[in-house]
Amino acid sequence: METIKLTRARTHAAVAAMLLGSVAWSGGALAQNVSNTNPNAVTTSTTTTDAATTNAATTDAATTNAMTNNAVTANAAARGQNNNSGGASSRGAPTDPGVRGGDPGAGGALPGLNDVERQYFDVAKEVFQEVDAGPDGLGPTFNLDSCSGCHSQPTIGGTSPATNPQVAVATLMGAKNVVPPFITATGPIREARFVRNRDGSPDGGVHGLFVITGRSDAPGCNIAQPNFAAELARNNVVFRIPTPVFGLGLVENVSDGALEAALAANAQQKRALGISGRFNRNGNDGTIARFGWKAQNKSLLLFSGEAYNVEMGITNELFQNERNSDPACQFKVTPNDSTPLVAEDTASPAANFQNDIDLFAAFMRFSAPPTPASAAATPVAQTAPAAQTTGAATATTGAATATTGAASGTTGAASGTAATGAATATSTLMASASADASSVLPSAAGSAAAPSSSAASTGASVTRGNQVFSNVGCQACHTKTLTTEKSPLTGQSNVTIQPFSDFAVHEMGTGLADGVSQGSANGNEFRTAPLWGVGQRIFFLHDGRTKDLNEAILQHASRGSEANTVINNYNLLARDDKQALINYLRSL
């Protein structure tokens, strides 16, 4: 018993030291006494199923359990509900001030491009916004009819807008589609994936929401939509929302070596937090894939070709074959998009011989990354009274309990008493802490609470949030800075960028798991979502289940998640420090 008490005390001491630290975490004792409680950082990744195993589908029983829980979340999303596995903090919930207003700070070309490159970007952006129809090869199954339809918040190249265009496109030009229940006018743009085929074998592919049947530009086509009601009843549907494409050319130009070094950095502290992560590598040459929710796409060109095919139904030189080969529904030669052999009349001579997917990739490759807001433009929420919490935070189980379950259920290394008693033990351990660090956990430190957000300047709150981001361990996955290698584009070599991602995939636990494997990423894993531009996003996590950043953070904690310790650290924060973190994220 004395040994157990000593072990617990060391664990609490390490948590306290880490929370009181800044960028350089203090986690030696934690590394010795907490094994594999699996935390991540504050990513905004991922979906709906509850795959009961750490690795995807190892037994029939585990697969059945994963399928059942997966569809429970899918059906909840269809009803417009949230499924918050992370739980609420007993120390009070912050308020998400909402989408940052002002200039988008994104959507333009990279600074420093020459005139030829800028002309090429401008044409590529125009093509990215083109609306396709039957004669262009739209369908036979599709989710939307333009790239910019999905990528429009806060501007062209972003993510899902406030008003979902999928509702209108369902019946555009006389189409007879029924809008599935998980698509709503004010909800996120979604694609639907089926986890398994009817015979029980893995599926995981995108199933187009709509068909061109009935459209005036598709005479004679008479195919039916997928039976989403039946698949929802089978707990077999999971969702993905669009990812922003700003600055992705710079991400593409970060070397594998730089990514590997970033993932290997601060190894002891990451082990102390339970964070590991790995890269989803190309199966042929072993290089790192980095695009998409599971980092399943190796390049921007592949990303473009796949999206053109599965989102709009348009075949191209990377995906040449129709997904539905009914000849009555084919209105253009295959592939629908191909390299022109005669110059097209564009404002860029360089674009005249490019096909659509080359230009989509060019738009992303030449696009500048999001610019963080100035302090004056960043919204800062008022701190709620002590007895008040948001519905998102209170609608679920306590995060401390959830974290306890994750630690004990996954590794058995941390007992429920140790995890749930952390706040009390930390209170004792931190009573003698230095006053200048006490505002990280003011109640635990026994000192006066930090000034509320309403009493602090916007800049001070955001600056404080930056420190909290590092203190709790978010940066362990959300790597702040990376540097590009030599680039063929003017002025883009050796550029330092701040994507806030390690571009690795991490185990995210049963609360976010979707049961879909892509490349080497299993059904529980997701890529660390880049946080640049997050201040102007409306919907969070891979399936868009919440609009609230606090809830998105809490959702990272569930059984088997690498984020559990980090989220537990977050829950131990005073309300003001949580608020500062939310304000900081909204400034990005």
Sign of the C-alpha dihedral computed for residues 533, 537, 542 and 547 taken in this order: positive
Domain limits for position 173: 115-246+290-365
Whether residue 140 sits in one domain with residue 94: no
Whether residue 302 sits in one domain with residue 155: yes
Among the candidates 365, 395, 425, a domain finishes at: 365
Whether residue 198 sits in one domain with residue 336: yes
Say what the pLDDT of residue 374 is: 72
Whether 375 shows a pLDDT value over 70: the answer reads no
- Residue 492 forms part of a structural domain: yes
Q: Which of 6-15, 117-126, 493-502 has the lowest mean pLDDT?
A: 6-15
Q: Is 450 helix (H, G, I), strand (E, B) or coil?
A: coil
Model confidence band, residue 381 (pLDDT cutoffs 50, 70, 90)? low
Whether residue 201 sits in one domain with residue 318: yes
Phi, psi of 184 (to 5 degrees): -130, 160
Whether 577 shows a pLDDT value over 60: the answer reads yes
- Residue 166 forms part of a structural domain: yes
Whether residue 453 sits in one domain with residue 358: no
How confident is the model over 508-529, as pLDDT tens digits?
999 999 999 999 999 999 999 9
Give per-residue burial for 117-148: e unless 16+ CB within 10 Å, then b.
Answer: bbbbbbbbbbbbeeebbbebbbbbbbbbbbbb
How confident is the model over 84-132, as pLDDT tens digits?
333 444 468 999 999 998 899 999 999 999 999 999 999 999 999 999 9
What the block records as the tokens of 534 is 């997050």
Whether residue 572 sits in one domain with residue 443: yes
Among the candidates 306, 331, 365, a domain finishes at: 365
Whether residue 433 sits in one domain with residue 546: yes
**What stretches of 503-575 adopt beta strand conformation (E)?**
505-507, 525-527
Taking phi first (over 0 means left), then psi (-120 to 50 degrees means alpha), and beta for anything else, what does residue 561 get?
A: beta
Whether residue 448 sits in one domain with residue 305: no
Mean pLDDT over the full length of the chain: 79
- Residue 110 forms part of a structural domain: no
Cα–Cα distance for residue pair 470/398, rounded to 1 Å: 23
10 or 251: whose pLDDT is higher? 251
How confident is the model over 180-204, as pLDDT tens digits?
999 999 999 999 999 999 999 999 9
Whether residue 405 sits in one domain with residue 317: no
* Cβ pair 504, 39 in contact under 8 A: no
Say what the pLDDT of residue 459 is: 86
375 or 209: whose pLDDT is higher? 209
Whether 587 shows a pLDDT value over 90: the answer reads yes
- Residue 374 forms part of a structural domain: no
- Residue 272 forms part of a structural domain: no
Alpha helices in 341-487 (DSSP H): 356-365, 391-394, 399-410, 416-420, 422-429, 442-445, 458-472
How confident is the model over 18-76, as pLDDT tens digits?
443 433 333 332 222 223 333 333 333 433 333 333 333 333 333 334 433 444 344 44
* Cβ pair 508, 48 in contact under 8 A: no
* Cβ pair 441, 426 in contact under 8 A: yes
Model confidence band, residue 170 (pLDDT cutoffs 50, 70, 90)? very high
Cα–Cα distance for residue pair 365/121, rounded to 1 Å: 9
- Residue 257 forms part of a structural domain: no
* Cβ pair 505, 551 in contact under 8 A: no
422-429 vs 2-20: helix crossing angle, rounded to 10: 70
What the block records as the tokens of 201 is 């074998």
Whether 396 shows a pLDDT value over 70: the answer reads no
Whether 3 shows a pLDDT value over 70: the answer reads no
Whether residue 478 sits in one domain with residue 404: yes
Whether residue 416 sits in one domain with residue 328: no
Percent of the chain with pLDDT over 90: 69
Whether residue 471 sits in one domain with residue 355: no
Among the candidates 335, 365, 395, a domain finishes at: 365
How confident is the model over 325-351, as pLDDT tens digits?
999 999 999 999 999 999 999 999 999
- Residue 377 forms part of a structural domain: no
126: Cβ–Cβ under 8 A, 6 or more apart, which residues? none
From residue 354, how far is each of 136, 264, 441, 467 by CA, in Å? 16, 39, 56, 46
Whether 580 shows a pLDDT value over 60: the answer reads yes
Q: Is 174 exposed, middle or buried (0-12, 13-18, 19+ CB in 10 A)?
A: exposed
Cα–Cα distance for residue pair 407/354, rounded to 1 Å: 52
- Residue 72 forms part of a structural domain: yes
Cα–Cα distance for residue pair 237/2, rounded to 1 Å: 49
From residue 504, how far is each of 452, 536, 587 by CA, in Å? 36, 24, 24
Overall number of domains in the chain:
2
Say what the pLDDT of residue 585 is: 97
* Cβ pair 425, 581 in contact under 8 A: no
